[in-house]
Structure 1
Amino acid sequence: MRTIDYFDKMAKTYPDRDVLVAGETRYTYREMEALTHKVAGALRAAGMENQEPIAVMSPNDGSVLTAMLGCWRAGAVWIPVNTRNALDANIAYLNYVRVAMIFYHSSYAKEAAEIKSQVPTVRHMVCLDKPEGGHASLDDFMATAPSDHFPDLGDPIGNPEELTALIATGGTTGPAKGVRVMNRSWGAMLETICNIMPVEGKPVSLATAPLTHAAGPVTMAALAMGATVVVLPTFDAEAVMKAIEEHKVTHMFLPPTALYSMLGHPKVKDYDYSSLKYFLLAGSPVAGEKLKQAVEVFGPCMCQSYGQTEFHLVATWLSPEVVAAAAKGDHPERLTSCGQATYSVRVELMDDDGNLLPVGEVGEIVGRGGIVGGGYFELPEASAEATAHGWHHTGDVGKRDEHGFFYIVDRKKDMIVSGGFNVFSAEVEDAVMELAEVAECAVIGVPHEKWGEQVTAMVVKRAGAEIDADAIIAHAKARIGSVKAPKDVHFIDAIPRTPVGKMDKKKLREPFWGGAGRSVN
């Protein structure tokens, strides 16, 4: 089905339930449904055609949800703009997908004007929160709708091959590729999330990560289960902890870095988290010791999923029950697993020749099933490469145990070859992160005359903590052996990150590799 079909089901089931709480703004499902009809009608009155791309550029704000749902009711293709990207990169991407219209927040007025001047396909702009720069506010724009009801554009099978979105990949090299997110694959993702994260009574979902990134699909899944969505403008550790208690939050998504910030907050144990049923971590691997600590603080609600933009979010699932058991000592190794394959997909490991690998062997994680998108927008060669041998290729390296639990050991490009041995940086990072004095760690390979590449740890100390390089190296040797342990440690103030929050190891490698033209030996 289409996203708007999932929403409409809940609007009929719970018309008077709050769908949105954002500061002083509150809407019921009935009220939001009416607003989306007006947005869709205004879009068509402005000349928008079916399946045209419409961008949303905003910090977290309640109006973002209204605009997104209105676009989907009108049959538009959602283009989320990552405001942490460089403006030039966003302009290049919007030109690539030929965006036709932009909803923007006034806090990005300068960027919006620059985009309008450099993206010739943009025909219309709407400022979400107020009239700005000659553009109507969202309220004024909705007033141009010719009626209060927009016709239903759905077909009997839910428009499966139409696009829901064109979402930019978050890679660290080269221009972003637009992933073709189909109604069929997005719908499979929403249904999977609803099935693995059920709750009795009224679900309440907290959105503090950007709605224009991973929090967007999680929020849409929350709407598909009839949740009230509480939107915070940005991540603030104490504000999140306070909101959980105040709103009796049941579902929440955050990246691991945000979890670490909460665990390190002096007031983390001052709030009531008993309402939490699912504290979902996704986007990057989580250090096992930190996950165990999180169970102790937040209770048996911690869970993880693994996926990517092309393989939507929930390819594997590590349930709260499994995490809680592992934290108590039942299969403790599962604290570093990303879980088992979800019901509607197959997940396997593959070698470079296209052969599927047995239990225990390390290979590329590949998958097939309903949550695989439709390839890359107007990039047939890249799409074919990503689906070679009849499977979607993630580019992630992993292994699987006899119980079907998957363990990510690295990105292929992050593999360090030292003295002829393959060292997966994620395994080294996990060992270093066991130390209480370490807040963050990124492991890279740096050139070495004898070994080819030397395993090197870039470490951020926890505030007020004292630890030296020798202690870190000794701990890692004891945990994972001398070959894999870092041979050098650099203490830095912060790990650089890409606009989507991933460790930017390319930037970390640059000072060591210089003009070598490559970062592997």
Structure 2
Amino acid sequence: MKVNFGKLLFNQVQQLGDKTALVNIERNRSYTFKELHSITNKVCNMMKNQFDMGFGDVYVNLLENDNNSLLSHWLWKGAATGAWLNYRDSFDEHIYQIDYVNPKVVFVENVVLEKENYYEAFKERNIAIIVMDKPEKEMPGVHYLWDLLRNESDAETNVEYDKDQHIVLYRFTGGTTGRGKCAMYTLRNKLGAMQQAYAYPEELFDENSKFLHVTPLSHASSLIVLPIYFKGGTNYTINIPDLELLCKTVQENELTSTFVVPTLLYRLLELGLESKYDLSSLDRVFYGASPMSPSKLEDLQSKFGNIFIQGYGSTEAWPLIMVLGRNDHIIETDEDRKRLNSAGRPLPGVELSIMDGEGKEMPFGEIGEIWIRSESVIQGYYRAPEETASGFSEGGHWKSGDLGYMDESGYVFIVDRKKDMIITGGFNVYAVEVENVINSHPAVYQSVVVGIPHEQWGETVVAEVVLKENQIVTDVELTEFMKGKIGSYKIPKTINFVDELPVTTVGKVLRRFVRDKYWKETARNVH
């Protein structure tokens, strides 16, 4: 089926033309629906007219949130395919990804060209460079966006393509377990995901939504952009996940919603910023990207009220697949408290199955791998047929690699990643379960649990723990705290206290980095 995405956006302009669609806080600029549409039409036309960008060509966004919000979803009105890179990744990772997708044009922050060898690397690859701010000095091959747009037409692009076949976007997986794979998205994936979110019984977005994007728009936060836009709400952006800036922005703009990773919420509790800033305008705080400690969630609710919504998704099934809504967060019984450990229930339109190793569905309460099939699930990985074949079933399910079970009410409980399951003495230990118990100790800020080789038991359980500021607890006290809460075989045999844990730029703990630290010191003759 053919689609004209520009026409869909223009329909919003006709209805909401003078309403504010986008606000970039740090750059102090805002755009109405009409202005945003006009500017992005110019960008699409500029890419076609001045850089001969058409079907099969790729452009890369290496941008902070403010600029990425201008040049992300809206460029799907054109024929070229976008690739969003994480601005905070390393030079080596950026160049690997750029070589992988072979772009014709890169949109990049000026400051990036001043670091390491970016400029030389782009020039060697004959990539046209477009910067977002006026360059201080002339650099051959570097173009200033607003100069390029000065005489460009804002006429409708009138580009049509097959919404099931044309790839509008490439994104790389997070790489918490290795080198990221390149996911391919069609427009059906994006629009289907939006409709799934709209179908959730609780209204997640409305025309009054004023949503703040804190985490990178190249990643999880971008899942909110189109749902807010097509509901007639306003997207706000800041470039760095700074808690003081977040709270100040919420207070000054009376923002209604945001998306944050649990580690940021933990820090919010630590600093007590709710007493310094007026955050009462918030009525929906989405969290995800990594599990939330149930005990800390209860602390957050006691301070902010019942405003929290958990979302579960992944690069391959992006954005939302499961939701634990505000009603699900109401705690009146022990059963309610148990539910906080879940990732929620599948959205309408999402098939979620718990499968055994043979691809057969498991009964309620039995642990297996989570398989997902919906319109938001990608067709596969770019230039990676073997990974696509192993990661997706013949019927179109994405095999998530997450282990979990579903109860009879449809709530899904994720117990671990397949690769993160620890087998000790023949027993399965799920790291997330152990981490939740450790994190419930009042002195603990964050923890990670891994398995390391052991001659007798195959693997033994080890924890690294970050304590809250000015808090003290010993490994013996923490071990005693865990007794009776989990089986004795699950309690870490070693607890190491550290100042911080390695995390990705979007806040996920890099468990493999912690695991590798121990495995490198041990002969890999037991697994």
Shared fold per TM-score greater than 0.5: yes
AA at the equivalent of 1:347 = L
In 1, the alpha carbon distance for the partners of 2:400 and 2:525 equals 21
Residue 126 of structure 2 corresponds to residue 110 of structure 1: no
CA–CA distance in structure 1, aligned partners of residues 420 and 119 of structure 2: 34
Q: SS of the counterpart of 1:312?
A: coil
- Residue 422 of structure 2 is matched in structure 1 by 416
TM-score, normalised by the number of residues in structure 2 = 0.92
Match of 2:148 in 1: 141
1:94 alignment partner in structure 2: 98
Report the equivalent of 1:205.
211
Taking only aligned residues, the RMSD between alpha carbons, in angstroms, comes to 2.2
Compute the displacement of 1:12 (Å).
2.1
For 1:504 and 1:65, the matched residues in 2 are separated by 27
2-structure distance, mates of 1:90, 1:334: 40
Which letter maps to 1:353?
A: E
Q: Which residue of 1 is the match for residue 62 of structure 2?
A: 57
Name the SS for the 1:374 alignment partner.
coil
- The corresponding residue for 2:192 is 188
Is 1:281–2:282 an aligned residue pair? no
* 1:9 to partner: Cα distance: 3.2
Aligned position for 2:220: 214
Deviation at 1:239, TM superposition (A): 1.8
**How many Å apart are 1:491 and its aligned residue?**
0.2
Deviation at 1:478, TM superposition (A): 2.1
Q: Which moved more, 1:4-13 or 1:184-193?
A: 4-13
Indicate the larger mover: 190-199 or 393-402. 190-199
- Alpha carbons 1:338, 1:405 under 8 Å: kept: yes
Residue equivalent to 2:167: 163
| Separation (CA, whole Å) in 2 of partners of 1:200 and 1:230 | 15
Corresponding residue number in structure 1 for 2:459:
453
SS in 2 for 1:410: strand
> Is 2:429–2:490's contact at 8 Å kept on the other side of the alignment?
yes
Aligned residue pairs total 516
Match of 2:35 in 1: 31
- Give the 3 Å change call, closer, same or farther, for CA 119–173 of structure 1 in structure 2: farther
Contact 2:91 2:116 in 1 (8 A): no
Letter in 1 for 2:369: E
Structure 1 residue 75 corresponds to structure 2 residue 79: yes
Where does structure 1 differ by over 6 angstroms across 4 or more consecutive aligned residues?
none
1:377 aligns with 2:382: yes
The 1-side partners of 2:166 and 2:7 are apart by: 14
Deviations along 1:237-265, one digit per CA (max 9) or x if unpaired, are: 12212222222222211111111111211
Residue by residue over 1:148-174, the C-alpha shift from the partner in whole angstroms, topping out at 9 and shown as x without a partner, is 21331136xx73321121110112344
- For 1:472 and 1:25, the matched residues in 2 are separated by 50
Q: Deviations for 1:39-75, whole angstroms, at most 9, x for unmatched residues?
A: 11110012111242211112222x3222224522213
State whether structure 2 residue 471 is matched by structure 1 residue 469. no
Where does residue 306 of structure 1 map in the other structure?
312
* Aligned 8 A contact 2:447 2:464 in 1: yes
> Quick one: percent identity of the two aligned structures?
29
Q: Does 1:487 align with 2:479?
A: no
* Alignment correspondent of 1:428: 434
**Cα deviation, residue 122, structure 1:** 4.6
**Amino acid in structure 1 at the alignment position of 2:449:** V
2:130 matches 1:126: yes
Give 1:19's aligned residue: 21
- The Cα offsets for residues 341-379 of structure 1, whole Å up to 9 and x where unpaired, read as 110111011111111101010010001111111100021
SS in 1 for 2:69: helix
1:172 counterpart = 2:168: no
**Is 2:167 the counterpart of 1:153?**
no
1:319 alignment partner, one of 306, 319, 325: 325
Check conservation: 1:185, 1:372, Cα contact below 8 A: yes
Whole-angstrom CA distance in 2 between matches of 1:229 and 1:177: 29
Query: Is the Cα contact below 8 Å between 2:206 and 2:232 reproduced in 1?
Result: no
1-structure distance, mates of 2:38, 2:504: 38
> Within the alignment, does 1:357 sit opposite 2:362 as a pair?
yes
Structure 1 CA distance, aligned partners of 2:390 and 2:257?
A: 36
Which piece of structure 1 moves more, 435-444 or 78-87?
A: 78-87
Q: Secondary structure at the match of 2:319?
A: strand
Are 1:43 and 2:44 an aligned pair? no
1:139 partner letter: W
Secondary structure in 1 aligned to 2:331? helix
Please give the alpha-carbon distance, in whole angstroms, between the structure 2 residues aligned to 1:112 and 1:247: 37
* More deviation, 511-520/358-367: 511-520
Q: 1:416 to 1:408 in 2, by over 3 A?
A: same
For 2:6 and 2:523, locate their aligned partners in 1 and report how far apart those are by CA, in whole Å: 48
- The code of the aligned residue for 1:313 comes to P
Residues 21 and 33, structure 2, Cα contact 8 Å, conserved in 1: yes
Secondary structure at the counterpart of residue 318 of structure 2: strand
The alpha carbon displacement at 1:200 in A equals 5.0
- The secondary structure found in structure 2 opposite 1:268 is helix
Alpha-carbon separation, structure 1, partners of 2:62 and 2:391? 29
AA aligned opposite 1:364: E
Checking the alignment, whether the CA contact within 8 Å between 1:274 and 1:299 is kept in structure 2 is no
- 2:234 is aligned with what amino acid? T
Q: Which structure 1 segments of 5+ residues have no match?
A: none
- CA 4–177 in structure 1, closer or farther in 2 if over 3 Å, else same: farther
How much has 1:520 moved relative to structure 2? 6.3
Per the alignment, do residues 148 and 192 of structure 1 end up closer, same or farther by CA in structure 2, a change over 3 Å counting?
same
* Alpha-carbon distance change, 501 to 55 in structure 1, aligned in 2, over 3 angstroms: same
**Distance (Å, rounded) in 2 between the aligned partners of 1:520 and 1:130:** 57
Asked if the contact 1:238–1:262 (Cα under 8 Å) also holds between the matched residues in 2, the reply is no
Moved more, 116-125 or 102-111: 116-125
1:507 equivalent in structure 2: 513
Q: Which of 264, 274, 281 lines up with 1:268 in the alignment?
A: 274
Amino acid at match of 2:189: S
- The separation in 1 between residues aligned to 2:469 and 2:6, in whole angstroms, is 46
Question: CA–CA distance in 2 between the matches of 1:493 and 1:7?
Answer: 47
Write the distance in 2 (CA, Å) between the matches of 1:228 and 1:441. Answer: 36
2:294 is the counterpart of 1:292 = no
The question of whether the paired residues in 1 share the 8 Å contact of 2:206 and 2:228 is answered with: no
Find the aligned partners of 2:520 and 2:204 in 1 and give their Cα distance. 51
Q: Which amino acid aligns with 1:188?
A: G
Deviation at 1:450, TM superposition (A): 2.4
TM-score by length of 1: 0.93
CA contact (8 A) 1:260 1:290 kept: yes
CA distance in 1 between counterparts of 2:134 and 2:126 reads 20
CA distance in 2, matches of 1:507, 1:343: 36
Distance 1:465 1:275, change over 3 A: same
C-alpha deviation, 1:432, in angstroms: 0.6
